[in-house]
Amino acid sequence: MKKEKVVSNTSMRRIKRELPLHLMLLPGVLLIFIFHYIPLGGIIIAFQDFKVAKGLFGNQEWIGLGNFEYLFKLPNFPSVLKNTVIIAGWKVVLGLITPIVVALLLNEMINLKYKRVIQTVIYFPHFISWIIMSSILLNILSPSTGIVNRILEFIGVQPIYFLGDNRYFRGTMIVSSIWKNFGYGTVVYLASITSIDPELYDAASIDGAGRLRQLWHVTLPGLRALIILMMVLRMDDFLNAGFDQIYNLYNTSVYETGDIIDTLVYRLGLQRAMYGAAAAAGLFKSAISTVLISLSYYIANKFFDYKLF
Amino acid sequence: MEKKIATKKQISRWLAVGLAAVMTVTAAGCGSGSGGSSATEGTTAAAQTAQTSAETTAQAAAGTAETAGQETQAQAAGRVTYEPVFTPSGTAAEKYTEQMDGLIDELFDVFEANGETELLTGYDEPVTVDMMRYYSTSMETGMAGYEEKYGESYSYNRWEDLYKRLFNVDINMSMRPSSDYSTQLSLDMAALDLPDIFIVSSQSDLMALAEEGLLADMSGYIDEYASAQVKANMASDDGAALRETTMDGKIFAIPCATSATNNLSLLWIRSDWLKNLGMEAPTTVDELETVIDAFMTKDPDGNGVDDTWGFAVNSDTSSAFKGLYAAYGSYPNEWHEDANGEIVYGGTTEATKNALAKLAEWYKKGYIDPEYITTSAADANAKVADGTAGMRYYNHSLGKWVETCHESDPNADWICVPLPSATGSPVKSILAPYNVGYIVVNKDFEHPELVFKMLNVIDHIMYNSADYVEWWAYDDEVSWNFSPVGCYGSAFGNLDIYLNVKECYDNGEDTSLLHGGGVAHYRMMHDENDGYRWVKMFGPQDNSAHAIIAQQKDSGNLFWASFTGPNTKLMNDYWTTLMDQKSVIFKSIINGEVSADEGFAQWLDFWDNMHGNEITQEVRDWCAQNAK
C-alpha cells in the first residue's frame, strides 16, 4: 500500500529529490540574470542621442543608426579597426597554439620536479595585473636601460624602441600578452593530458609507435575536445585586443598601429561623455563576436562532431 | 539504525537548502548594492534620517526658545547663534570648543565692522539640506586624526557644526572618494536623484545638468549674498572662472576656483651646476641651448661620468616645454587672441610651428631624451629628484622634487629664473581658471543663497583670519577640504600668500603682519622636515617660484585665455579626433619623421577637414555673447 503510493508519485519524488540542486543553482542564475541580462536593456543607448541628465529612461532623443554612422565616419576608424583585428587575431591564434605546444613539451619531461617548477614559473605572470605589468615592461623594454635591449646589444643588434616605434608596437603587444597568459592554458592542457588512458600509450608502443607517433595518434586526439572548446570560446575575443594592456602601454607615437576600438571608445565615451557612440561601438563588437562564435561552433559541430550544448 | 541514517540524510538535505537560501539572499543583496539603484536606496535612507534629525532639531529648537532668556544678551547685539547638535569628544575637545567659539566671535566682529552683519543671519526654522562632495586620499589620513582628537567624522564635523550654529541648517553630508566621483554622479544623474547642493567635478557633467534645466540659476544671488571678500575673489580673474559656468546669461554653478597661477610653467634650473661651469642663467633661447649643451657634455656634477641631461622631459611635450612654446608666443592648448585681436586656437598658429621646428632641432641634436615618448610626468620629475637633469619647465609644485634632490645632495640647489625669450621681447604666459570643482544647487532647493552664506565664512577664514586659519583650514594641511562647499579662491591667492610672507620678512619677520594662508605658509617654511620646499616655492628671495610669478605679473606679462567655456556643439563631435591627430603629427615633427613645414601643413589641412574653422567660429560667437 505504502509502496504503491511512492511509485505513483515518481515525478513528485524526483522534484523533491532534486529541489536542493535547483536551489543551489538559483544564486548563480540570479547573478547572471541581474548582471548579464538586465544590463542588456542598455543597448538602447546605442540608438539614442544619450544625455545622462535626462535619466536612464528619460525622454531621450532617438537617432536611429546615427551613432554608428558617426563612429564609422571617424577618420581614424578604419585604422583602429585594422589594428584591433590584427592584434586580437594574432592573440587568438598564438594564444591557442602556444599553450598546446608548451603542454606537449612539458608532458615529455622526465624530471617531474623540474616540470612542476617550470609549470609554476610560466603560470606566474598571469596573476600580475596589467597596470603593474606595464611598468615592468616599460623598464625591461627601455632602449637605453632595459635588459632586453642589453641582450640584443650583446648579440650585435641595434637597440629597439619596442613601445615607441610603430614597426614593433603591435608585435610587442601580441608577444607580451601571450607571454603573460600562456601559462594558464598550459596548465589546463596538462591536466587534460594526465586524464588520457595510459593503456592507449602502451597499446600504441606495442604496435611500434615511437614518441612522435604516440603524440600524434594518442595525445592530440585525446585533447581534441578541449582544443575545440578553447577555440570556440576564444572567438569571443576576436575584437578584444586587450584594453587593460594597450591603454597602459600605448602613447600618441604609436596611435597609428596601437589604437584599438576599446581605447578609442574610452577616449570618446568616458573622457568626453559620448555615451551613445561608446555604446554603439560596444554593440558593434558584440554583434561581430556573436557571429564569429556561432560560426565557429557550427564548424566544430559539423566537421568535428563537437557538441557544447 | 536505519532511522538514524535517514535523519542524517535529512539534516544534510536541509543544510543544503539553507545554504542555497542564504546564498540567494546574499547574491540579491550584492546585486542591488553594486548596481545603479544603490544610490537611490542610499539616498532614500539618508532622506529618512534627515527627516528624523530635522524633527529632533525642531524639538531642540523649541526647547531652546523656552530657555532663550540666557541668550537675550547675545541677541541684543544682533548675534544670533543656534544650538549645536554636535559635542566634540576625544583627546583635544577643548581646542575644538575654543576654536569654534573664537571663530564665531571673530566672524561677527569682522562682518559687523564691514557692515555685512546680515550675511550671518540664520533661518528661523531649521533648514535641512542634502549635500554631496568628493574627498581626496590626503583627507583620509587627516580624518583619522580628527576623529581621535575631536570625535569628528565625514558626516559630522567642525564645518557642519559651524553652519548649524550660524545659520540653523542641518547638513546631511555625503562624502565620496574623488577617484570615481564622476562615475557615481553619472549614475545619480541617470537615476534622476540629486542632492540639494553638491559639487560637480567636471565641466561636461555640469553642462549636462544645466542643459536639462536641473540646476538653479545663481546669478541673482551674488549681489545680495556674497561678501566683499568673495566678490573680490570673483573679480580677481576678470570673471574668467565664472564664465566657465555661464550659459545663455545664467550662472549655473559657483566654481571652486583656486590660484590660476598653479598652471604657469616656470623654468627651474640647477644653480650649482651653472656655478660649476661658470655660466649665467639663460635669458634667450640661444643661451638656453648653450646651457643644455654644457649640462650634457661638460659634466656639471663633476662625477666624471657622462650621466646628465639638460632637460627632464615627459611624453606630453606641450606641458614639458610649455615655457619654450611661450618663448615663441605659442600656447598650443589654449584659445587666445592673435596679433589682430581675433580669437584663435593656439595649436594652429605660426608661432607653434616655429616652436615645433626648434624642438625638432633639439631632438636631432640629442637634447631631448628619445625615450621621452614613454616617460610620464612623474618619471621626469624623478630625474629632477635624482640629480640627472639640470632643468625642467614646470609649475611651482616642483618644489617637492627639488627638495628630494637637495636632501640626497646638499650641494644641489634649484632656482627659478624668468623664461628665456626667442623673440627678443619678454615672454608672456597664459592664464586659465583653475577650478577644482563646481558648486551647484538643485533647482528644487528653496535656499540657493545658502551657498554664499557658507562661502563667505570660509573665504573669511582662508583670506583674512589670522588666529583661526591654522586650525580651520590648515590643520594637518587638509581641514579646509572638508568644507561642504569648498572655497571660492582668488586667481592670485598663492601670489598673495607670497606677497604677505614677503611683507613679513621685509619688516624684520614681523609675524603680526601675516593673515590667511600667509600664517600657515610662514609656519611651513620653518618646518624642519620639509621647510625647504616651501622656501623654494613661496620664499621671499627673488628666485623662488612665486617671486618669478610676481615679476611676470608686475611687468604685465600674464594674460587670460580667451575661451574656457563649455564644449561647443561641434567640439563634442570632433574635438577628440582633432586632438588625437594633433598630438600624432606634433610628435612626428619633433621626432624628425616629417619636416615642420610639411607636418604643420598636414595638421592645418586636417583641422580644416574636421570642421576646425567652424569650431573657431563657434568659439568666437560664444566669446562675443559672454564678453565681460
Q: How many domains does chain A have?
A: 2
Residues A199 and A278 in one domain: yes
- What are the C-alpha distances in Å from B523 to residues B35, B474, B501, B504, B519? 47, 11, 10, 12, 6
pLDDT in tens, B276-290: 999 999 999 999 999
CA B128 to chain A, closest CA, distance in angstroms equals 24
B588 vs A contacts (CB less than 8 Å): 253
Residues A38 and A77 in one domain: no
Flag whether residue A163 sits within 8 Å of chain B, measured between CB atoms. yes
Residues A75 and A38 in one domain: no
- Check CB contact under 8 Å for A273 and B23: no
pLDDT over threshold 90, residue A108: no
Which of A16, A17, A251 should we substitute to test contact with B (largest number of B Cβ atoms within 10 Å)? Answer: A251
pLDDT in tens, B84-141: 888 888 888 889 999 999 999 999 999 999 988 889 989 999 999 999 999 888 888 8
Residues A244 and A128 in one domain: yes
Give alpha helix (H) positions in B252-303.
Answer: 271-276, 285-297
CA A24 to chain B, closest CA, distance in angstroms equals 5
Residue B353 grid coordinates: 610651428
Bridge partners for B440 per DSSP = B198
Residues A77 and A126 in one domain: yes
Domain contains A60:
no
Distance between CA atoms of B413 and B394, rounded to whole angstroms?
16
Nearest-Cα residue of chain A relative to residue B589: A253
Residue B261's nearest CA partner among B537, B600, B540 is: B537
CA B211 to chain A, closest CA, distance in angstroms equals 8
Judge if ipTM > 0.90. no
- What are the C-alpha distances in Å from A49 to residues A11, A32, A272, B213? 53, 29, 14, 17
Domain contains A288:
yes
pLDDT over threshold 50, residue A33: yes
Distance between CA atoms of B337 and B620, rounded to whole angstroms?
10
Q: Which helix (H) or strand (E) holds B223?
A: helix B222-225
Domain contains A194:
yes
Nearest beta carbon to residue B208 from set A20, A31, A51: A51
Residues A248 and A275 in one domain: yes
pLDDT in tens, B600-616: 999 999 999 999 999 99
pLDDT over threshold 90, residue A16: no
Residues A120 and A261 in one domain: yes
Flag whether residue A70 sits within 8 Å of chain B, measured between CB atoms. yes
Class of CATH domain B265-430+558-625: alpha beta
Q: Coil, strand, or helix at residue B132?
A: strand
Residues A33 and A87 in one domain: no
pLDDT over threshold 50, residue B20: no
- Residue B71's pLDDT is 43
pLDDT over threshold 60, residue B51: no
Residues A86 and A198 in one domain: yes
- Residue B492's pLDDT is 94
A34 vs B contacts (CB less than 8 Å): 27-28, 31, 35
Using 50, 70 and 90 to split pLDDT, how confident is the model at B21? very low
Q: What is the dihedral of CA B335, B336, B342, B344, to 10 degrees?
A: -30
CA B20 to chain A, closest CA, distance in angstroms equals 5
Using 50, 70 and 90 to split pLDDT, how confident is the model at B355? very high
Nearest beta carbon to residue A268 from set B16, B370, B576: B576
pLDDT over threshold 50, residue A81: yes
pLDDT in tens, A197-221: 888 888 888 888 888 888 888 888 8
pLDDT in tens, B408-439: 999 999 999 999 999 989 999 999 999 989 99
- Check CB contact under 8 Å for B192 and A58: yes
Bridge partners for B439 per DSSP = B199, B254
Would you say B158 and B76 are in contact if contact means Cβ atoms under 8 Å apart?
A: no
Domain contains A54:
no
pLDDT over threshold 60, residue B52: no
Domain contains A254:
yes
Compare B591 and B478 and report the one with higher pLDDT. B591
E strands, B395-472, are 414-417, 429-431, 434-441
Domain contains A59:
no
pLDDT over threshold 80, residue A300: yes
pLDDT over threshold 50, residue B452: yes
Which residue in the block uniquely carries the three cell numbers 612665486?
B546
- Residue A270's pLDDT is 67
Mean pLDDT of B497-512: 93
Task: Give φ, ψ of A163 to 5 degrees.
Answer: -100, 0
What is the CATH number for A173? 1.10.3720.10
Would you say B584 and B606 are in contact if contact means Cβ atoms under 8 Å apart?
A: no
Residue B489's nearest CA partner among B462, B509, B451 is: B462
- Residue B601's pLDDT is 96
DSSP code, position A215 = I
Distance between CA atoms of A10 and A5, rounded to whole angstroms?
9
Residues A9 and A93 in one domain: no
A161 vs B contacts (CB less than 8 Å): 370-371, 373
Would you say B120 and B108 are in contact if contact means Cβ atoms under 8 Å apart?
A: yes
B580 vs A contacts (CB less than 8 Å): 76, 252, 255, 259, 267
Domain contains A58:
no
Residues A196 and A283 in one domain: yes
Nearest beta carbon to residue B587 from set A142, A144, A253: A253
- Residue B187's pLDDT is 85
In chain A, % of residues over pLDDT 70: 95
E strands, B378-499, are 389-394, 414-417, 429-431, 434-441
- What are the C-alpha distances in Å from B519 to residues A222, B204, B513? 78, 36, 9
Domain that holds residue A163: 66-304
Q: Max alpha carbon distance in chain B (Å)?
A: 106
Mean pLDDT of B265-294: 95
Domain contains A53:
no
- Check CB contact under 8 Å for A27 and B24: yes
Among A246-260, B33-47, B181-195, B480-494, where is mean pLDDT lowest? B33-47
In chain B, % of residues over pLDDT 70: 87
pLDDT in tens, A245-290: 999 999 888 988 999 988 988 888 766 778 888 889 889 988 988 8
Residues A31 and A113 in one domain: no
B20 vs A contacts (CB less than 8 Å): 20, 23-24, 26-27
pLDDT in tens, A119-130: 999 999 999 999
pTM above 0.90, yes or no: no
